[in-house]
Amino acid sequence: MHRFDTVTSLRQHLNSLRSTQKVGLVPTMGALHEGHITLIEKARQENDLVVSSVFVNPVQFNNPDDLARYPRTLEEDSRKLEAAGCDVLFAPSVEEMYPAPPALRLNFGELETVMEGAFRPGHFNGVGIVVAKLFNIVQPDRAYFGQKDLQQVAVIRRLIRDLSFPVELIRCPTVREDDGLAMSSRNRNLTTDERRQATTLFQALTLGRELLAEGYDVAQVKAAMAGFFADKPAFRLEYVEIVNADTLQTASEVLAPGQTAICLAAHLGNVRLIDNLVF
């Protein structure tokens, strides 16, 4: 596996190969887990060359403490990527990616007014900027993202469409622990007791899915899921939403198969967790 930390060196390497090889990109912020590895493996199956980035993007954090706590494990990540079949690792510094603070501002319209957009103002501007930069630097044929960050996938779909990036977006299923907890780099920050309690998110989502399948209406299901957290004081629930899985706009009823998403976010101790199920 080749490793680069500058845009120039990465571009030179890729330009020498691009004419004959399809390129798959897996952007990450590091602290890799099995969910990331499945993205690498999927990219490996579908492309000649797999590029992964490890970069904790400061522009997408609106909470300095959250940025400071985000785990950074580059050497461990590098070993995992190489073992999974990654060909190229791009691990730039903040100064390399942002020689000056970006003045550009991206607005994703209604996607910024709901769920993560409502609770993390400016977050998707930062996501859009860094992904656009990676698309420009790497020029991949395909890009791979996990369904756990469903709203992020919708934002990137909008980015690709509105800016005419010649990139195919591949949304990959959420990878879960045996007890249902969605794999996330932030899980490393949970205490042992918090890790045990964190399965509550998947339990709430499962309850919502079962109630929808039984014919309860959306308002009843959201109320039941919120009530599920009422006797769990360790959690601070931010939102429970039932939405169109593509537009992320509120759904008033169950949509066609695969089009209804049940989404939630909650704080557990100092860790903010999100998860979803597509119904």
Query: What 8-state DSSP symbol labels residue 145?
Result: E
**Counted domains in the chain:** 2
* Length of the chain in terms of residues written: 279
96 and 226 assigned to the same domain: no
32 and 95 assigned to the same domain: yes
Residue 169: which of 159, 151, 154, 157 has the closest Cα?
A: 157
Task: Name the residue with tokens 């400061």.
Answer: 58
The pLDDT of residue 182 is above 80: yes
102 and 189 assigned to the same domain: no
75 and 7 assigned to the same domain: yes
51 and 83 assigned to the same domain: yes
The pLDDT of residue 268 is above 90: yes
The pLDDT of residue 19 is above 80: no
191 and 153 assigned to the same domain: no
Mean pLDDT, rounded, for 259-276: 97
- The answer to whether 245 and 260 have CB atoms below 8 angstroms apart is yes
Q: Give per-residue pLDDT as tens, 94-123.
A: 999 999 999 999 999 999 999 999 999 999
* pLDDT (0 to 100) of residue 13: 95
CATH of the domain at 211: 3.30.1300.10
Find the range with the poorest average confidence among 13-17, 150-154, 262-266.
13-17
Residue 179 maps to a domain: no
Active site residue 267: no
Query: 251: domain range?
Result: 185-278
* pLDDT (0 to 100) of residue 18: 78
Q: Which two tokens stand for residue 225?
A: 């899921």
Mean pLDDT, rounded, for 126-143: 98
* pLDDT (0 to 100) of residue 252: 92
Q: Give per-residue pLDDT as tens, 69-81.
A: 999 999 999 999 9
* pLDDT (0 to 100) of residue 147: 96
Q: What distance in Å separates the CA atoms of residue 241 and residue 264, rounded to the nearest whole number?
A: 6
The active-site residue out of 2, 13, 33, 36 is 36
